[in-house]
Amino acid sequence: MANRQEVLLTGAGGQGLILASIMLAEAAVSDNKNVVQSQSYGPEARGGASMAGVIIDIDVIEYPKVVTPTVLLCMNQASYNKYLPLIKPGCIVIVDSTFVKGPFQEEYKVQVYPITSTAKEELKREVVANMLALGVVNAAAGLVARDIFREVIFKLAPKGSGELNQQAFDLGYSLYEHGSEQGAGKSAQNSQ
């Protein structure tokens, strides 16, 4: 991992991205990193815009907001349209193809995964798509040692859902290992 990672998790309210960002921040603290976590969301309880930022660094973090993302997760089309123009080429961009249809510009090397549909089909629970996404993001970016997440997930997941959330996180790794979707009209990650 580079010394500093700036992560933006974006989507719609109700997708659990703020909880995912809190888990990422907690795991990074457990991994002896300096961390700042921030969040913003629309006035709607569900369906409005949601964005959570996590800065992970081995050095002191002097400004608490993500300025130059190194990792961008987009869980819906609106967040993809809004945040992609703000990043620099070379950033890791991960999108949920369940809700994001592109266009996928070549210079961003967008990695496309069916995150929400996989949670629904494999685990029968769409609500854990956030943990599946967190698994994909951590696998792609190497933010925190994978084994650190287990304790964090069981500590912060809603009561009684730790095992399901851990399964979703692990499924995210599996999804990443099988590679980004390829297809017509997609400039997804070309086999690197």
The string of pLDDT tens digits covering residues 122-152 is 999 999 999 999 999 999 999 999 999 999 9
CATH (residue range 4-177): 3.40.920.10
Model pLDDT for residues 53-72, shown as the tens digit of each residue: 999 998 888 888 888 899 99
Q: How many residues does the chain have?
A: 192
Q: Residue 13 in contact with residue 41, Cβ under 8 Å?
A: yes
- Residue 184 CA to residue 192 CA, distance in Å, equals 18
**What six digits make up the tokens of 66?**
């993500």
Helix (H) / strand (E) element for 92: namely: strand 92-96
Who contacts 186 (Cβ-Cβ below 8 Å, separation ≥6)? 102, 104, 110, 112
